[in-house]
Amino acid sequence: MQPDEIARIHEEALAEAREADSADALEAVRLKYLSRKGLVQDIMASLKTAAPADRPAIGQAANRLRAELLDAVNRRREKLAEAAETSGPAFDITLPGRWPGLGSIHPVSGMIAQCADIFRSMGFTVADGPDIETAFHNFDALNHPPGHPARDPRDTFYLEDGTLLRTHTSPVQVRYMQAHPPPVRIIAPGRTYRRDTPDATHSSNFHQIEGLYVADRVSLADLKGDLTYFASQLLGARVQVRFRPHFFPFTEPSVEVDFSCHVCGGQGCRVCKQSGWIEIGGAGMVDPNVYTAVGYDPEAVTGYAFGLGVERMAMIFHGIPDIRLLYENDVRFLAQF
């Protein structure tokens, strides 16, 4: 690079520093010329290829450019700072502030926390388990024989390695009993997955609260009393509870648990399918085969288990007519809670 070309760069650099109208623009000028990849560094690198007779002049011109430009940048920075102080703040500090909207707890999360508090007051502890389960924990240990309809891929989400997305939270009771001797008194809230057709009361991804109480003298009367007490604590005396005979592979005898419909008050409507009741979950006395699968002595213990639908309880508690509203991420809807 020739001295006359360096002189031209020198003039342009000083002019750009003087004309910079902001701190950002001034910093861009400094980086353009004085950074490790700047033009001054390029001038110094050209010394390697310059003629020996020209090297002193080139070196002196580059050093002069660096010193004068750095001085010009510093002086311009001071002037910009002074101008900012005299012009006052860039905003009106007397204007009222904008209060950001605060988030709220999702009704499903709130319902899980509320239910957990009630069950804790009844002596239950909270347990947890994985969403991806083995067929043993989800089916075999829960007395689902090969060929059971629940195992069908049209009802269950299977993964390539043979595991599956759990269809209920009952596998947690299997894992807990395998790791803990009786007595056992737990609840297990969590997500579950089934190939259901979405409608006002069904979803393919929903939440359950699994409950398990195993000791030496547990009866169906304990189950009915505990769930009735739970319903009264959660929803008040106005909500009625109904137990209907049913069948589940892992409980015997088995019942379905219904709460009175929140929309029609038991008169019959679209949400409750004109029955006046909404199915909340299933329950019953733990089948002896389950005890055998987890290593308990079925002759020494008895117990009950239940699985309650969190979304359906949230619908009753908040008066929500359609379960799909809980998953549409409509802030206007969620802000009500």
SS3 41: helix
Residue 318 CB partners (closer than 8 Å, separation 6+): 107, 337
219 or 49: which carries more pLDDT confidence? 219
The span from the CA of 67 to the CA of 47, in Å, is: 18
The span from the CA of 174 to the CA of 178, in Å, is: 6
The span from the CA of 184 to the CA of 124, in Å, is: 9
SS3 60: helix
Rg (alpha carbons) of the chain, rounded to whole number: 36
Residue with tokens 């623009």: 25
* Structural contact between residues 263 and 321, judged by C-beta atoms closer than 8 angstroms: yes
Confidence of residue 30 (pLDDT cuts 50, 70, 90): confident
Confidence of residue 190 (pLDDT cuts 50, 70, 90): very high
Which pair of tokens denotes residue 246?
């049913």
Question: Which pLDDT score, from 0 to 100, does residue 193 have?
Answer: 93
Residue with tokens 């703040």: 89
| Other residues' Cβ atoms within 10 Å of the Cβ of residue 162 | 8
Question: Which pLDDT score, from 0 to 100, does residue 175 have?
Answer: 96
The span from the CA of 110 to the CA of 116, in Å, is: 10
Summary mean pLDDT of the chain: 88
One of 1.10.3720.10, 3.30.930.10, 1.10.1040.50, 3.50.30.10 is the CATH number of 107-334, namely 3.30.930.10
Element (H, E) at 13: helix 3-19
Question: Which pLDDT score, from 0 to 100, does residue 127 have?
Answer: 95
Which residue intervals of the chain bear CATH 3.30.930.10?
A: 107-334
Q: Which residues is 285 bridged to in the sheet?
A: 304
- The mean pLDDT value for 212-231 works out to 94
* Structural contact between residues 252 and 287, judged by C-beta atoms closer than 8 angstroms: yes
The span from the CA of 234 to the CA of 239, in Å, is: 9
Q: Which residues is 256 bridged to in the sheet?
A: 244, 282
Q: 209, 246, 238: which is closest to 226 by C-alpha?
A: 209
* Structural contact between residues 226 and 212, judged by C-beta atoms closer than 8 angstroms: no
pLDDT score of 65 more than 70: yes
Beta strands in 216-288 (DSSP E): 241-248, 251-260, 277-286
Q: End-to-end distance of the chain based on CA atoms, in angstroms? A: 71
pLDDT score of 275 more than 90: no
The span from the CA of 185 to the CA of 230, in Å, is: 15
291 or 79: which carries more pLDDT confidence? 291
The span from the CA of 292 to the CA of 22, in Å, is: 78
pTM attached to this predicted model: 0.66
Lowest mean pLDDT among 148-152, 171-175, 226-230: 148-152
65 alpha carbon, distance to own chain's centre: 57
* Structural contact between residues 257 and 245, judged by C-beta atoms closer than 8 angstroms: no
